[in-house]
Structure 1
């Protein structure tokens, strides 16, 4: 059985390398390996967990996982290629107000499904299956899981106790990190480049690398945390979520004062 598994890995990774040299890449880690399929890799386990979990528990259009193998640097996932145009391209070209509203309503429906999923434990910050998470707001490596929002928020503050936080970061952080939040499943990278459109509707939501269970405000604040600036995008997402103005203010302060705590803690 091990020989067959090793042979499968060799065949799939050879296909990955040959396809990349012939057809190029669709992104930094995504290679088209046929008319219907792509291979993405190397990936971390939370991405595979999220794809399988969302496919099983929602009707959100995500790439169907066909098979996986372990290769250089991590997991490689063969999945269906979703035909369409990424929303970033369409948004920058210009969409009519009615076209934008239709797409935003589709996003609202996706968010509703995500926010009705039941976490394995209230307050947990973890991958779909309760393991470590990856989020570049936090750092470039896996961290956690965190068994409570308070421990997660403490990590974001670099371990500064809540009673000392006002002196270090200000009262806005104290106010946010003192609140009780619900736990929702978050995509954590709801950027237009990850939303695939065909015939004016969303047909795919891709790149679930950062997805997991987070405090309820996470998808909203993360929409503002990007170096790829698409005009009006965060404000458009904001209309489809509850207001998290205080949390956004607190997160922006932390981005400026102590961003990517997972990287800092490893120095």
Structure 2
């Protein structure tokens, strides 16, 4: 009973801090509130984001917000972290705030951070999981945690809705079949390395934020996921393709899958419909 009372007090305190923060500083987004000059609270979050923030801070020099505290709530948990001064790269890049030389310098700095992530050693090859080796999250797939997978074959099968490889070409085309037959290293990508998640100040990267989708994936995942955004910014993609290993076949394969599953959570619905139609065809035949 005493523990429940403490939980209610903690929950009320958090909500009050969030409301005061919104009044004083305004909201920074649907899940992010600045609560003081130096801190923000993000939430509700899922565990992979916290695991990634702590993992990257411990094993690399990639600039990430420092985690100050976490707050467990019935709807999820909230991460209290340092507020990073600066401008997101999307605003600066599209808004003409950067010279060509500044753009190249920022991209080169980013290249070093991406390389640090790619040098991290997985617990074993083939794994697909969060930094804590639990279920991962990526809205490219859906809004729920998935995995962990102990090999890429199982992960690719999951991406295909468990359509067997012998039927893959018929359903998704040759590119998906070819790429899902290859062997890949496991790397640790950010998995949402879009311009809005890179914070800059005075022409330098001060932080890379929003690590909700980070984890262990096939080596092509960073490159393909960087193209998953809504904005078409040709010069950014050209620069990005210059600093990271390109996986153009895999990008084409992923785009074939995106065309089928273009909304979070659509995959299983589409797969069920496809399976039902195949059953009907077999019955008619």
Give the TM-score of the pair, scaled to structure 2.
0.88
5 Å-filtered alignment, 1:56-205, equals: 56-94=58-96, 95-205=98-208
Paired with 2:38 and 2:49, the residues of 1 have a C-alpha distance of: 20
Distance 1:136 1:234 in 2: 21
Contact 1:41 1:75 in 2 (8 A): yes
RMSD, aligned α-carbons: 1.8
**Counterpart residue number, 1:211:** 214
* Cα shift readout 1:95-146 (whole Å, capped 9, x = no counterpart): 2221011100111001011001111221111100111111111112111111
Structure showing greater Rg: 2
Structure-2 change in CA distance of 1:9 and 1:214 (3 Å): same
Secondary structure of the corresponding residue to residue 120 of structure 1: coil
Deviations 1:191-228 (A, max 9, x none): 11110101101010000011111110111101111113
Structure 1 counterpart SS, 2:243:
coil
Contact 1:32 1:38 in 2 (8 A): yes
Between the aligned partners of 1:120 and 1:17, the Cα distance in structure 2 is 42
Q: Are residues 246 and 42 of structure 1, via their aligned partners in 2, closer, same or farther at CA, if it must alter by over 3 Å? A: same
CA distance in 2, matches of 1:27, 1:38: 11
Equivalent residue, structure 2, for 1:25: 27
Cross-structure match for 2:247:
244
Query: In 2, are the aligned partners of 1:141 and 1:263 still within 8 Å (CA)?
Result: no
Superposition TM-score, scaled by structure 1 size = 0.94
Of 6-15 and 187-196, more deviation after overlay is shown by 6-15
For the 8 Å contact 2:190–2:215, the answer to whether it is kept is yes
Question: What's the CA shift for 1:83?
Answer: 0.5
Aligned residues: 267
* Comparing 59-68 and 9-18, the one that deviates more: 9-18
Structure 1 residues 261 and 201: alpha-carbon distance in aligned structure 2, compared to 1, 3 A threshold? closer
Moved more, 186-195 or 12-21: 12-21
**8 Å Cα contact 1:156/1:261 also seen in 2:** no
Shift of the alpha carbon at 1:264?
Answer: 3.2
Is 1:265 matched with 2:279? no
Whether the 8 Å CA contact 1:143–1:262 is kept in 2: the answer is no
Whole-angstrom distance in 1 between the partners of 2:234 and 2:37: 33
The whole-number CA distance in structure 1 between the counterparts of 2:230 and 2:169 is 28
SS in 2 for 1:142: coil
- Give the direction of change, closer, same or farther, for the CA distance of 1:152–1:118 in structure 2 (3 Å limit): same
Task: Give the match for residue 47 of structure 1.
Answer: 49
Distance 2:247 2:234 in 1: 20
Cα distance in structure 2, aligned partners of 1:61 and 1:251: 29
* Greater fraction of residues in helix: 2
Gaps of 5+ in 2: 273-285
